[in-house]
Structures are given as C-alpha cells and as structure tokens.
Amino acid sequence: MKDNPLYRKNILVGVSGSIAAYKSCEIVRQLKKRESDVRVVMTKSACEFVGPLTFQTLSQNRVITDMFGERNEWVPEHIKIADWADALLVAPATANILGKARCGIADDLLSTTILSVKCPIIFAPAMNERMYDNPMVQENIENLKLKGAFFIGPEEGFLAEGYSGKGRLAEVEAIVDFVSSVIEGR
C-alpha cells in the first residue's frame, strides 16, 4: 500500500452542526475504503442532523459526543484522541466551529480537541453563502490559515436554503484526496 498515503493512518473526523453533516458519512466511508482508521467526534448540533450510530457503524469505532460522558480511563478523551490522530478533518466546518478555533474557545469536545491536536487540521467549510462571505468569517479563515490550518472548499452550488451560492461542502472525493495530499506532504 505504498501508493496509498491514507493506509493505516489515524484520521479523526470532526462533525459540526450543518445539514451537510450527512455528507460526512460518505467521507468516513471513503476514508475507511482507503484503509484509514477513522474515529468521529460530533458536536451536539451535529447529532441533530445525523445520529452517532451511523458514524459508529461506518467507522467501526465508538463515536465521541460528550466531553463529560462515562470514563473508563484516566486520560481525558480529547487528549487521548488528539494523541491518536495523524490528521483532524472537520467536515462540515460551520462558522461557529471556525470562530471557536480561531479564538481558542474550548467549550465542547470538538473545539477542545481542535486545540489539543499536534497533527494537521483540515477544515471543509459548509454554510450559507451570506455567512461564508461575512467579513468576520473570512477573517477567521485567514487567521486559521496563518496558523497552519488547511482548507478545502466551499464550493458553489445548490444550498439547503433553496438557491445557489458559495457555501456548499466540497465534494466527498475531493475532500478525501485533499486529506491524502496533506498527509503525504507531512
């Protein structure tokens, strides 16, 4: 598998609350198909769109949704998974999670994990075009890029609100290929 940069790599997928969360299921499936070990962290808002059981089945790993859930080990969950990950992909990345990451806010498991990882962080934004074009969101994105974060998308296309615009999650295959290229470039 020398020609597959994702072979046996530990990919942590962070899913935040967006209608595009359903596409993250296919991202996890494609990462598994490329023989990555995949774990999923979901925000409570993401759980409103897609259930953790779906990701658990696709990833073949327990899905983590709560910072203060049942503990079987002494190491905090966000540190344990941060140490495990070769890359963190946040898909979809909402305006909310981008703002938290930029400002260092750690008030849920995903935002705490983002602050804890030492591996590459890849954001795949998905939101309404008005939100994406907002100067505050653009400033957050530019700041995160300056701090070393990687971005793919968003794309132009049909949005959940019923019209076309820029804010659509990048295509699944493009996201998986991008993760592969980031890992390969390490």
Other residues' Cβ atoms within 10 Å of the Cβ of residue 1: 9
In terms of C-beta density within 10 A (0-12 exposed, 13-18 middle, 19 or more buried), how is residue 104 classed? Answer: exposed
Helical H runs in the chain? 21-33, 44-47, 52-59, 77-84, 95-103, 109-116, 129-133, 135-146, 172-184
Q: What is the per-residue pLDDT for 66? A: 78
Largest CA distance in the chain: 48
**Inside any domain, residue 53:** yes
Provide the number of structural domains found in the chain: 1
Distances (CA, A) of 93 to 2, 8, 13, 15: 30, 25, 11, 7
**Inside any domain, residue 171:** yes
State which residues form the domain around 45. 10-184
**Inside any domain, residue 150:** yes
Q: What is the per-residue pLDDT for 85? A: 93
**Inside any domain, residue 44:** yes
Q: What is the per-residue pLDDT for 167? A: 87
**Inside any domain, residue 149:** yes
In terms of C-beta density within 10 A (0-12 exposed, 13-18 middle, 19 or more buried), how is residue 42 classed? Answer: buried
Which CATH number fits the domain that encloses residue 137? 3.40.50.1950
**Tens place of pLDDT per residue across the chain (186 aa):** 557 878 889 999 999 999 999 999 999 999 999 999 999 999 999 999 999 999 999 999 999 887 665 556 555 677 778 888 999 999 999 999 999 999 999 999 999 999 999 999 999 999 999 999 999 999 999 999 999 999 999 988 887 778 788 989 999 999 999 999 999 886
Identify the sign of the CA torsion 52, 167, 179, 123: negative
**Inside any domain, residue 161:** yes
**Inside any domain, residue 4:** no
**Inside any domain, residue 104:** yes
Q: What is the per-residue pLDDT for 2? A: 57
Structure tokens at 115: 């602050």
Q: What is the per-residue pLDDT for 165? A: 81
